[in-house]
A and B are shown apart, each in its own frame.
Chain A
Amino acid sequence: MEKVIIIRYAEIHLKGKNRGYFERVFGVNLEKALKGLRHELRRTSGRYLVTAFREEDAEELCARIARVFGVHSYSVGVRVPNDLESIAAAAMSVSPQSGTFKVDTHRADKRYPMTSPELNAEVGARLLASFPALKVDVRAPQHTVFLDIREDGSALVFGMFCEGAGGMPVGTSSKGLLLISGGIDSPVAGYMMAKRGMEVKYLHFHSYPYTNEQARDKVIVLARILSRYTGGDTVATVKVTHIQEEIHKKCAAELNVTLLRRFMFRIAERVAARQGAKCLITGESLGQVASQTMEGITSSNAVVRLPVLRPLIGFDKEEIVARAKKIGTYETSVLPYEDCCTVFLPEFPAIKPKLSYIEEEEKKLDVEALVAEALGTMEEFPLR
Chain B
Amino acid sequence: MIYLDNAATTRPSDGALVHARQYLSECYFNPSAGYHGGAEAARLLNKARAYLTECIADPAQFSLIFTSCGSEADNQAIFSTARRGNAVTTSGEHAAVFESFRELKNRGVEPRFAPVRADGSVDAEALLQMVDEKTSLVSVIHVNNETGAVNDIVSIARRVKEKNPRTVFMSDGVQAFGKIGVRLSKDIDLYCISAHKIGGLKGTGALVRRKGCAALLPRIYGGGQEGGLRSGTENVFGIACFYYAAQEKFASLEADAARLKGYRERLWEALDKELFVRISPADGSAYILTVSARGRRGEALQRMLWDAGVAVGTGSACNSKKPHSRVLQACGYPADVLDGVLRVSFCSSNTREEVLQAAKLMNEAVRRFGG
Interface residues in chain A, defined as those with a beta carbon under 8 Å from any beta carbon in chain B: 208-210, 212, 242, 244-246, 248-249, 336-340, 342-344
Contact = CB atoms under 8 A, between A and B. Distances in A.
B370 A209 contact: no
- Ranked nearest first, the 10 interchain pairs of A and B with the lowest CB-CB distance are A245-B371, A209-B303, A339-B320, A210-B300, A209-B304, A336-B319, A209-B300, A340-B318, A249-B371, A336-B320
B37 to A, nearest CB: 44
A208 B303 contact: yes
Contacts of B179: none
Contacts of A344: 370
Contacts of B371: 242, 244-246, 248-249
A375 B355 CA distance: 37
Nearest to A344: B370
A244 to B, nearest CB: 7
A342 B321 CA distance: 13
Interface in B261-306: 296-297, 299-304, 306
B307 interface: yes
A245 B304 contact: no
A249 B300 contact: no
Given A210-B297, A336-B319, A344-B370, 7 more contacts: A208-B303, A209-B301, A245-B370, A249-B371, A340-B299, A342-B297, A343-B300
Contacts of B300: 209-210, 340, 343
Contacts of A209: 300-304, 306-307
A249 B307 CA distance: 23
A343 B297 contact: yes
Nearest to B339: A343
A336 B321 contact: yes
Of B301, B303, B371, most buried by chain A (CB within 10 Å of CB) is B371
Contacts, number: 40
A134 to B, nearest CB: 52
A209 B296 CA distance: 12
A339 B322 CA distance: 12
12 contacts: A208-B303, A209-B303, A246-B371, A248-B370, A336-B318, A336-B319, A338-B320, A340-B299, A340-B318, A340-B320, A343-B296, A343-B297
Of A209, A245, A249, A339, most buried by chain B (CB within 10 Å of CB) is A209
Nearest to B304: A209
Nearest to A343: B297
A212 B314 CA distance: 14
A289 to B, nearest CB: 15
Nearest to B307: A209
Contact of B370 (A340, A342, A343): A343
A340 B339 CA distance: 12
A102 B302 CA distance: 68
A315 B318 CA distance: 30
Nearest to B306: A209
Nearest to B322: A336
Contacts of B318: 212, 336-337, 340
A342 B324 CA distance: 14
A147 to B, nearest CB: 57
A138 B321 CA distance: 57
B307 to A, nearest CB: 7
Contacts of A245: 370-371
Of B296, B319, B370, most buried by chain A (CB within 10 Å of CB) is B370
Interface in B327-371: 370-371
A368 B216 CA distance: 69
A369 B371 CA distance: 16
Contacts of A246: 371
A209 B371 CA distance: 12
Nearest to B368: A245
A212 B370 contact: no
Contacts of B319: 336
Given A209-B307, A210-B297, A210-B300, A249 B370 contact: yes
Contacts of A340: 299-300, 318, 320
Contacts of B304: 209
A158 B313 CA distance: 62
A342 B323 CA distance: 11
A337 B319 CA distance: 6
A248 B306 CA distance: 24
Contacts of B303: 208-209, 212
Contacts of A339: 320
A310 to B, nearest CB: 25
Contacts of B301: 209
Contacts of B302: 209
